[in-house]
């Protein structure tokens, strides 16, 4: 599909949506560390000597088997299951809507119940299948407190951080819907082999700045990569940041996933305008943090995202500056065609200019894939969904930007 090829929403195949299994204010066991899960069980009277065993049973059922109700846990005693049901939940969020694009891209609009104070929140997750892999794009916040001038999310206020449960639930739900968990009838101990999985990669490139929600993102990603659970390799998880420098160091030390930087400009004056966090953490500090990122090599490179804005950052001078800036950093460059939104003053660079820019970068020895927009039909619907629902229900309705589609990660 070419960059300008937009499928009409009428070609969408709507999928049946699930009913909420349980809409309850009970705390979820999803997204707790082992220690937290153990403490939660202890508080409900589980004997000390049983805790470790119970936690590993639950961990297996929740993350390896992917069950979403306690009754499915056949090797857990009935009394224990009743206790779990009384005090906790492992229900998925409600699927408000599921859409499947002609090219296989899927989008889910999910609603999380309010736990404690507050209102339910809605977010979207997008799945992009490709040759040899499938990438799930995940959100970390509802809205964003940063104000990047070309980003639609940047025009919306931050509603709140997502919890580790809500971040992980996007992955669990996608795996449910794509058949990535073993059948209920499969023998105990069955694990879906990594090669056969539909969701082989995840990218934190949805809504929000993940490094402004560090603790929940860290917990969720460590659970997603836990070898006795979801066991997604850290090399297949990419976290994208606008450049929160202190937390880039922490990401390297404490999470260890692949890093993507929303660069978009190679001069401080321009980046101050496009990505205002640059005023706090200018390019030099950002690049120092990148150079210090642990484990970099030619096989483990940092991705630099660069949105192509017509007449703003797309000259060959900029391309030259980019090569200079990245000198010495194992890097790959993702050129993202700008996805316009109503009210924006920016335009996407001409296709010819994007190609010239890419050629320049390629000739300097960098792979610079231009992100082919995927699932444009769903994206179009994505914008519609948002305004329609805001009119209709006035609940917090959130939509991803083109970035989710245009800018998913790579191996
Ligand atoms: N907040 C994080 C992660 C989410 S944004 C970050 O900024 O990195 C994911 C990517 O999409 C970022 O590179 C972002 O700059 C880019 N993006 C945002 N709006 C876009 C648009 N309208 N068109 C193309 N890319 C966009
Ligand atoms: Fe927030 Fe990222 Fe959008 Fe900037 S580009 S406003 S950090 S979501």
112-129 CB burial, b ≥16 within 10 A, e <16: bbebeeeeebbbbbbbbb
| pLDDT of 163 higher than 90 | yes
Distance 179 CA to ligand 1 centre (A): 29
Per-residue pLDDT of 290-331, as tens digits, reads: 999 999 999 999 999 999 999 999 999 999 999 999 999 999
137 catalytic per annotation: no
Ligand 1 neighbourhood includes 241 CB (under 6 angstroms): yes
Helix (H) or strand (E) holding 382: helix 376-393
Q: What span, in angstroms and rounded, lies between the C-alpha atoms of 288 and 310?
A: 29
Closest ligand to residue 158's CA: 2
Average pLDDT over residues 338-366: 92
38 C-alpha to ligand 2 centroid (Å): 36
**pLDDT at site 401:** 34
How far apart are the C-alpha atoms of 310 and 350, rounded to whole Å? 7
Domain boundaries of the chain, sorted by first residue = 34-87, 115-408
What does the chain come to in residues? 411
Which of the residue ranges 59-68, 155-164, 233-242, 400-409 would you say has the lowest mean pLDDT? Answer: 400-409
Q: Give the chain's mean pLDDT.
A: 85
Q: Is 184 exposed, middle or buried (0-12, 13-18, 19+ CB in 10 A)?
A: exposed
- Using pLDDT thresholds of 50, 70 and 90, give the confidence band for residue 3: very low
242 Cβ inside 6 Å of ligand 1: yes
CATH superfamily of 115-408: Aldolase class I (3.20.20.70)
- Determine the average pLDDT of the residues in 353-357: 95
Q: What pLDDT is recorded for position 7?
A: 34
Q: How far apart are CA 204 and CA 136, in angstroms?
A: 9
Ligand 2 centroid–CA 152 distance in Å is: 8
pLDDT at 152: 87
For residue 153, the ligand closest to its alpha carbon is 2
Residues at CB less than 6 angstroms from ligand 2: 144, 146, 148, 151, 153-154, 208-209, 242, 262
CA distances to 12, 205, 287, 329 from 291, rounded to whole Å, are 44, 21, 6, 6
pLDDT above 70: residue 185: no
pLDDT given for residue 404 in this prediction? 40
d(CA 18, CA 202): 23
Q: Which helix (H) or strand (E) holds 160?
A: strand 160-161
At 102 the pLDDT is 86
Instruction: Give Rg (Cα) of the chain.
Output: 22
The span from the CA of 367 to the CA of 353, in Å, is 17
CA of 101 to the centre of ligand 1 (A): 21
In the set 94, 98, 122, 124, the catalytic residue is 124
């Amino acid at each position: 599909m070419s960059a300008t090829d937009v499928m009409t929403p009428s070609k969408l195949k709507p999928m049946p949506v699930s009913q909420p299994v349980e809409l309850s204010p009970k705390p979820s066991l999803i997204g707790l560390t082992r220690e937290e899960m153990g403490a939660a069980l202890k508080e409900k009277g589980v004997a000390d000597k049983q805790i470790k065993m119970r936690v590993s049973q639950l961990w297996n059922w929740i993350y390896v088997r992917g069950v979403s109700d306690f009754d499915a846990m056949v090797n857990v005693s009935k009394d224990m299951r009743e206790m779990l049901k009384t005090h906790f939940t492992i229900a998925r969020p409600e699927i408000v809507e599921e859409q499947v694009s002609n090219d296989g891209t899927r989008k889910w609009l999910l609603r999380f119940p309010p736990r404690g104070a507050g209102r339910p929140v809605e977010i979207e997750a997008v799945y992009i299948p490709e040759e040899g892999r499938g990438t799930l794009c995940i959100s970390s916040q509802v809205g964003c407190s940063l104000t990047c001038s070309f980003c639609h999310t940047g025009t919306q206020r931050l509603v709140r951080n997502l919890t580790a449960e809500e971040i992980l639930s996007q992955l669990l739900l996608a795996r449910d819907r794509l058949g990535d968990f073993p059948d209920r009838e499969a023998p105990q101990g069955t694990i879906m082999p990594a090669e056969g999985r539909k969701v082989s990669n995840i990218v934190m490139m949805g809504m929000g700045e993940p490094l402004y929600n560090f603790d929940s993102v860290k917990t969720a990603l460590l659970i997603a990569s836990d070898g006795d659970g979801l066991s997604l390799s850290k090399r297949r998880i990419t976290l994208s940041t606008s450049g929160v420098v202190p937390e880039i160091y922490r990401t390297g030390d404490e999470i260890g996933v692949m890093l993507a930087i929303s660069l978009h400009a190679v001069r401080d004056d321009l980046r101050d305008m496009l990505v205002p966090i640059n005023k706090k953490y200018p390019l030099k500090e950002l690049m120092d943090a990148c150079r210090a990122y642990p484990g970099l090599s030619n096989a483990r490179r940092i991705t630099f995202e660069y949105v192509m804005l017509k007449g703003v950052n797309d000259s060959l001078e900029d391309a030259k500056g980019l090569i200079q800036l990245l000198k010495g950093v194992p890097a790959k460059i993702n050129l993202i065609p700008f996805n316009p939104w109503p009210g924006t003053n920016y335009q996407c660079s001409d296709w010819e200019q994007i190609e010239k820019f890419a050629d320049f970068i390629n000739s300097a020895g960098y792979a610079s894939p231009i992100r082919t927009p995927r699932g444009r039909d769903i994206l179009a619907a994505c914008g519609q969904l948002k305004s329609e629902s805001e009119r209709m229900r006035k609940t917090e309705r959130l939509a991803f930007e083109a970035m989710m589609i245009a800018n998913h990660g790579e191996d």
